[in-house]
Structure 1
Amino acid sequence: MTDLERQLQGYRLTTAEILYHLPDHPGLLQSFVWQRLDLAPRFPELHRFLDFWTRNIEGRLHSVRVAATGVVKPGDLRLCTAEFRLH
């Protein structure tokens, strides 16, 4: 499925800022930014990524901030009836 098809089905551009503890220095936090098309409000792609993180990456999660916005909505698409070109 293409990104446009997914957006027309309700997927939104989702950005998550993930703060995690450094494995060697647990008192320090590191930031990681994750961004994909995901289906709000349940965010299955983000949950899959966070499950992968907790299973395979040593940095323990501290917090996750999520922002999502629709890039293309069905009402935003219109048929173009004419095209004009200037040389």
Structure 2
Amino acid sequence: MNDLSLQLHDYRLTTAEILYHLPDHPGLLQSFIWQHLDIAPKFPELKRFLDFWSHSLDGKLHSVRVAAAEGITPGRWGAVQAEFRVQ
């Protein structure tokens, strides 16, 4: 499916900041930003990615912070405060 059809099926742009321990220096944390269309609040795509991370990568997960944008909404409009014409 393309992005628009996913958004019509309640997918939202989801951003996750993943903090993980460096494999060679476990006392240090590194940040990774993951962004994908996903369904809130269960986030199946993010869970799938984190499962992959846990089983396939060496960096142990420390924490994950998630934010999801609103989906498709009606257009907004407001009154114009001023209009300028340049000739």
Q: TM-score, normalised by structure 2?
A: 0.82
Give the root-mean-square deviation of aligned CA atoms.
Answer: 1.0
The answer to whether the aligner puts 1:66 opposite 2:80 as a matched pair is no
Residue in structure 2 matched with residue 52 of structure 1 by the alignment:
52
Give the aligned length.
Answer: 75
Greater mean alpha carbon deviation, residues 64-73 or residues 7-16: 64-73
> Which 5+ residue runs of structure 1 have no aligned equivalent?
77-87
- Kindly name which structure, 1 or 2, has the bigger radius of gyration based on alpha carbons: 2
Q: Deviating runs (4+, > 3 A) in structure 1?
A: none
Matched residues in 2 for 1:22 and 1:9: separation? Answer: 37
Identity of aligned residues (%): 69
Matches within 5 A, 1:1-87: 1-73=1-73, 75-76=74-75
Matched residues in 1 for 2:58 and 2:6: separation? Answer: 32
Shift of 1:72: 2.0
Structure 2 SS opposite 1:19: strand
Shift of 1:71: 4.1
Q: TM-score, normalised by structure 1?
A: 0.82
